[in-house]
Chain A
Amino acid sequence: MTDLKPDLRQRPSDDRQATALPADLTARELGRWAWRQVTSMRTALVLLLLLALAAIPGSVIPQDNIDSLAVSQWRDNHPRLAPIWDRLDLFDVYGSVWFSAIYILLMISLVGCIIPRLFVYARALRAKPPRAPRHLSRLPESTSYTTDEAPDVVLARAARVVRARRFRVHHVEGEDAVAAERGHLREAGNLLFHLAVIVVLVGVAAGSLFGYKGGVILLNGDDYGFSNNLTQYDDFAPGALFDPDVMEPFSFSITDFDVDWLTEGSRAGMAREFVASLDYETEPGGETKSYDLKVNHPLTIGGTDVFLIGHGYAPVITIRDGEGEVAKSGPVVFLPTNAQTFESFGVVKAPFARPGQIGLEGAFYPTFSMGRDANGDLTMPSSIFGALGDPLISMSLWTGDLGLQDGSASSVYVLDKAGATQVTKANGQPFRMDLRPGESVTLPDDLGTVTFEGVQRWNKIQISRTPGKLVALAGVVLALLGLLGSLFVRPRRLWVRARRQDDGTTLVELGRLDRSSGGDPEDGAAELAEVVAALQDPTGPATTSSNKEEQS
């Protein structure tokens, strides 16, 4: 391909290339040079690649805000590396300084790139299509023919023909060529796309700065309710600029919960459909409404979304102490340790029991079964199904100081054994109780009795408020629209020149320049051929096209 003159070849997008450092520098020049580098295409390209590279570690190393359990395991397994990883923010890649640096630089580059291009674009919109280059035949797509018609006639028709093809046409009386251009929407789309990227970022930033995400484990039943304020959450992750006043004053309780378990097939035992029936009020004293909370079916109240994300069992346990008083009674949340069988772990504490504090720790099996090894000998107890087939709790007993009376906070899911001792049977073996619903056991050492009354369910509910999410969504949709314009609109120029030759005939030359990245000479040739056909047929399309012109 012959090299075109740079002014022709140049696309609006090409105007920013990295340049060499000028030889003698004033501070001003240096600044200008640096700005040019930052806003050059090449820099954008390198920053994009850096961004892709920088995102990788976060997919390999466990991340604090995604899977903190995995992070702590990783820390335990790599005691030496962990501090180094910490210093490098590798457990929080997407919030790290270096990751932020890359995308902030990219945004600066983007803004620096977009603003001048907006001006260029505004100017180009008003500008007339550029004059025909001297040698149309040197364009990558060109053709010519001779005719007996006068040049003026040909050019006038040419102007009509290309205008009918939705080109912007520039034809000055007396000039030997018609210049035409179309496809400005490409650059508009490109600008829209890049601006929309900024909109997306603003939306995402708003969500992470002003939003929050929290979770709560809520027992099923009307007796247990949740109202939306900070104290009620089990976990709460606010954005940096979160203001508790924005929290909507709704409340709800879970009246019923249903699971559909697969009972056959290779994934038998897997749970499939979950429905939590919710009764909720959008504000205190408001009307009570019902909602079926399901996976993929969150409840939206104002700007807050309520999701069902987990479920489990809470055995109802009553502890009477040695003096016959009820020291503890009610459902206790056990946390599943196995996602399929819902074998769960939990602790029950009765710190005010007398004569001694009582702490229970152990497992709950929804469908209890003794495991068997290859020889058929009994091995470990386990649960074989997630539903309540044959529920059983199996707990060990602790007494002494359970660390609950010194006022320090402690988790309801762990037994502080530092000051406690495990209660043993007469033979020195640890005391264990295996209870099915309705069964009781008398504790050794006159500590009291434990009754397993039944099983309740609980749900893990996640509540989040993500303010900018619609802004972000609108941004991506705009970006997509811009992208379509940018990728599929073909900006192109077309010139028709007609000149009287020495022999009295007229030489008509046509040239076409496709300025898109995907320009295809075949399409170009087709377009040229159509224009030529229209030009050579004075009665045909040319007249109809002038009609069209009048209509529009």
Chain B
Amino acid sequence: MTDAQWEVFSYQGVIAAAVLYFLAMLAYFVELASLRTATKEAELATVADRPAGASSAAGAAHPGDDPAEPSRRTQVAGRLGLVLTVFAVVVHLVALVARGLAADPNRVPWGNMYEFTISGTFVVALIFVLTAVRLDVEWLGPLVSTFVVAALMAAFLGLDDAVLPLPDALNSPWLVIHVVSAVISTGAFTIGALLSGLYLVKERSTATTGYLARVPEPKVLDRLSYRMHAFGFPVWTFAVLITGPIWAHQAWGAYWNWDPKEVWAFITWVVYAAYLHARATAGWRGRNAAVLALVGVATLWFNFIGINFFSSSSQHSYAEGARPERSVVLRLAGPVEATQEVGVVVGSDHPRA
């Protein structure tokens, strides 16, 4: 196949994956809906039984009526959601590989925001599927599939960018390692944040029916969230505090520049360090820790999306061609006024951390 064909193929792959995720999302919603009606019916049944003199305990004795035990239809829908997600992940992976093959020379698919988003969502879905194999986290399905569908749509509508060869500064094996680890930890933190968000909602909820009833108790959510963060944090450390500086040193001549992307990667790191401390501090466990996890993910995504619009001086910006690339500022000899400094460019645009 030619590069152009690969590119089209990759787009088709992403669309196909998005459709599959969407179907998975529908399946999950069907599951939720039948969960809701099933539990309603069970409630009604219990209520109806009562005047007849049957105790509610007797009502619950019918296996089909037990709100804790989902009906077959519900189970099938949930299974279907997971199976569809698995298919979607496979197609998604193929689309990612195709994207890399579409570039000349072939490269890793992390050259711009579009590519980073399709990679990041892939990791989120993959982590979900891998976790679902080991633990009962199917209840996370509706959230994950909705998130992935939304992010893919945004990537398609807002971030699409042509396949381009990487600028010189990005041609480094460190890029691969750096971005892979950044993408993986972003995926883990994102799922961790979904769990912490659920924790906060569930903690206040007294719902006995519907989705929240399906979600396990807060303690379990908190622990799962912790495990996601405990996995993500070392990977993030590796990405932003080891490979990032090594690469920055090679490409820009200084391992740490306090460039806005670096500042926010550091902020994210510090917030997650605080999260880990919070979980070990009396009075900060639970609620406050969950809030910190949400703050952490907010800084993470702000760094990815927000900072590009906020600050023009980042060497990491994915200048989409419209914005002149960040220039390396020359400090001139002698008593020259700062205003007389002029930018000089070598590396043109650089990617995000």
State which of B169, B219, B259, B280 has its C-beta within 8 Å of the C-beta of A295: B169
Q: How many B residues, CB 8 Å from partner?
A: 83
State which of A42, A48, A69, A265 has its C-beta within 8 Å of the C-beta of B338: A69
A296 lies within 8 A of B168 (CB): yes
List the A side residues contacting B341 at CB < 8 Å: 68-69, 72
Q: Is B142 an interface residue (CB 8 A)?
A: no
List the B side residues contacting A460 at CB < 8 Å: 328, 330, 344, 346
Q: Is B325 an interface residue (CB 8 A)?
A: yes
Q: Once the chains are docked, how many angstroms separate the CA of A337 from the CA of B327? A: 10
Q: Is A511 an interface residue (CB 8 A)?
A: no
Across the A-B interface, give the 10 residue pairs with the lowest CB-CB distance, nearest first. Answer: A235-B331, A310-B344, A307-B253, A339-B345, A335-B342, A72-B338, A59-B260, A59-B263, A234-B333, A48-B274
List the A side residues contacting B274 at CB < 8 Å: 45, 48-49, 52
11 A–B contact pairs at CB < 8 A? A17-B282, A52-B274, A55-B263, A69-B338, A213-B254, A271-B348, A272-B165, A310-B330, A335-B330, A339-B327, A473-B246
Enumerate B247-278 residues with CB–CB distance to A below 8 Å: 247, 249-260, 263-264, 266-267, 270-271, 273-274, 276-278
Q: Is B210 an interface residue (CB 8 A)?
A: no
State which of A66, A233, A235, A487 has its C-beta within 8 Å of the C-beta of B313: A66
Q: Is A520 an interface residue (CB 8 A)?
A: yes
B280 lies within 8 A of A13 (CB): yes
Chain A nearest Cβ from B92, distance in angstroms = 25
Enumerate A43-58 residues with CB–CB distance to B below 8 Å: 44-45, 48-49, 51-52, 55-56, 58
List 19 other contacts, CB 8 Å, given A309-B344, A310-B330: A13-B280, A68-B338, A69-B339, A72-B339, A73-B339, A76-B339, A217-B330, A234-B332, A234-B333, A271-B168, A294-B168, A295-B169, A310-B328, A310-B346, A336-B344, A476-B241, A480-B238, A483-B237, A518-B227
State which of B247, B258, B325, B337 has its C-beta within 8 Å of the C-beta of A94: B258
List the A side residues contacting B324 at CB < 8 Å: 338-340
Q: Once the chains are docked, how many angstroms separate the CA of A237 from the CA of B299? A: 32
Q: Is B284 an interface residue (CB 8 A)?
A: yes
Tell me the nearest residue of chain A to B299, going by C-beta.
A52
B330 lies within 8 A of A274 (CB): no
Q: Once the chains are docked, how many angstroms separate the CA of A410 from the CA of B234? A: 51
List the A side residues contacting B332 at CB < 8 Å: 234-235, 411, 413
Q: Once the chains are docked, how many angstroms separate the CA of A479 from the CA of B237? A: 9
List the A side residues contacting B55 at CB < 8 Å: none
User: What residues make up the interface of B, taking CB atoms closer than 8 Å to A?
Assistant: 135, 162, 164-165, 167-169, 171-172, 219, 223, 226-227, 230, 233-234, 237-238, 241-242, 245-247, 249-260, 263-264, 266-267, 270-271, 273-274, 276-284, 299, 307, 310-313, 321, 324-325, 327-348
User: Given A267-B164, A336-B345, A460-B346, does the pair A59, B311 have CB atoms closer than 8 Å?
Assistant: yes
A336 lies within 8 A of B237 (CB): no
B168 lies within 8 A of A14 (CB): no
B310 lies within 8 A of A41 (CB): no
B252 lies within 8 A of A59 (CB): no
B279 lies within 8 A of A517 (CB): yes
Tell me the nearest residue of chain B to A340, going by C-beta.
B324
**Per-residue B-contact encoding for A57-93, CB less than 8 Å = 1, 0 else:** 0111011011111111100100000000000000001
State which of A235, A272, A464 has its C-beta within 8 Å of the C-beta of B254: A464
User: Given A45-B281, A307-B253, A517-B279, does the pair A339, B343 have CB atoms closer than 8 Å?
Assistant: yes
Q: Once the chains are docked, how many angstroms separate the CA of A335 from the CA of B343? A: 8
A480 lies within 8 A of B237 (CB): yes
User: Given A309-B253, A414-B336, does the pair A14, B331 have CB atoms closer than 8 Å?
Assistant: no
B330 lies within 8 A of A215 (CB): yes
List the B side residues contacting A410 at CB < 8 Å: 334-335
A234 lies within 8 A of B330 (CB): yes
List the A side residues contacting B338 at CB < 8 Å: 68-69, 71-72
Tell me the nearest residue of chain A to B174, going by C-beta.
A296
List the B side residues contacting A1 at CB < 8 Å: 219
User: Given A460-B344, A473-B246, does the pair A274, B336 have CB atoms closer than 8 Å?
Assistant: no
List the B side residues contacting A72 at CB < 8 Å: 337-339, 341
**Per-residue B-contact encoding for A290-310, CB less than 8 Å = 1, 0 else:** 000011111000000101111
Q: Once the chains are docked, how many angstroms separate the CA of A65 from the CA of B331? A: 10
List the B side residues contacting A522 at CB < 8 Å: 135
Chain A nearest Cβ from B330, distance in angstroms = 6
Tell me the nearest residue of chain A to B163, going by C-beta.
A265
Q: Once the chains are docked, how many angstroms separate the CA of A62 from the CA of B267? A: 17
Chain B nearest Cβ from A522, distance in angstroms = 8
Q: Is the interface of A mostly helix, strand, loop or mixed?
A: mixed
B321 lies within 8 A of A308 (CB): no
State which of B246, B280, B334, B337 has its C-beta within 8 Å of the C-beta of A41: B280
Q: Once the chains are docked, how many angstroms separate the CA of A338 from the CA of B202? A: 55
List the A side residues contacting B344 at CB < 8 Å: 309-312, 335-336, 460
User: Given A51-B270, A59-B307, A215-B330, does the pair A411, B168 have CB atoms closer than 8 Å?
Assistant: no
Q: Once the chains are docked, how many angstroms separate the CA of A411 from the CA of B332? A: 8
List the A side residues contacting B310 at CB < 8 Å: 59-60
Q: Once the chains are docked, how many angstroms separate the CA of A311 from the CA of B307? A: 28
Q: Once the chains are docked, how many angstroms separate the CA of A262 from the CA of B321? A: 13
B266 lies within 8 A of A55 (CB): yes
B342 lies within 8 A of A336 (CB): yes
List the A side residues contacting B264 at CB < 8 Å: 59
Q: Once the chains are docked, how many angstroms separate the CA of A518 from the CA of B280? A: 10
Q: Once the chains are docked, how many angstroms separate the CA of A237 from the CA of B271? A: 32
State which of A52, A58, A309, A480 has its C-beta within 8 Å of the C-beta of B258: A58
B234 lies within 8 A of A487 (CB): yes
Q: Once the chains are docked, how many angstroms separate the CA of A56 from the CA of B311? A: 12
Tell me the nearest residue of chain A to B341, going by C-beta.
A69
Q: Is A477 an interface residue (CB 8 A)?
A: yes
Chain B nearest Cβ from A14, distance in angstroms = 7
**Per-residue B-contact encoding for A185-219, CB less than 8 Å = 1, 0 else:** 00000000000000000001000000001010100
B328 lies within 8 A of A476 (CB): no
Enumerate A318-337 residues with CB–CB distance to B below 8 Å: 335-337
Chain B nearest Cβ from A125, distance in angstroms = 21
**Per-residue B-contact encoding for A459-496, CB less than 8 Å = 1, 0 else:** 01010101001001100110110011001100000000
Chain B nearest Cβ from A109, distance in angstroms = 11
B280 lies within 8 A of A469 (CB): no
Chain A nearest Cβ from B25, distance in angstroms = 28
A466 lies within 8 A of B255 (CB): yes
Q: Is A345 an interface residue (CB 8 A)?
A: yes
List the B side residues contacting A67 at CB < 8 Å: 313, 329
Q: Is A266 an interface residue (CB 8 A)?
A: yes
- Centre residue among B169, B246, B331 by max chain A CB count within 10 A: B331
List the A side residues contacting B270 at CB < 8 Å: 48-49, 51-52, 55
List the A side residues contacting B277 at CB < 8 Å: 41, 44-45, 48
B172 lies within 8 A of A477 (CB): no
List the A side residues contacting B325 at CB < 8 Å: 339-340
Chain B nearest Cβ from A373, distance in angstroms = 20
Tell me the nearest residue of chain A to B238, going by C-beta.
A480
A69 lies within 8 A of B273 (CB): no
List the A side residues contacting B282 at CB < 8 Å: 14, 17
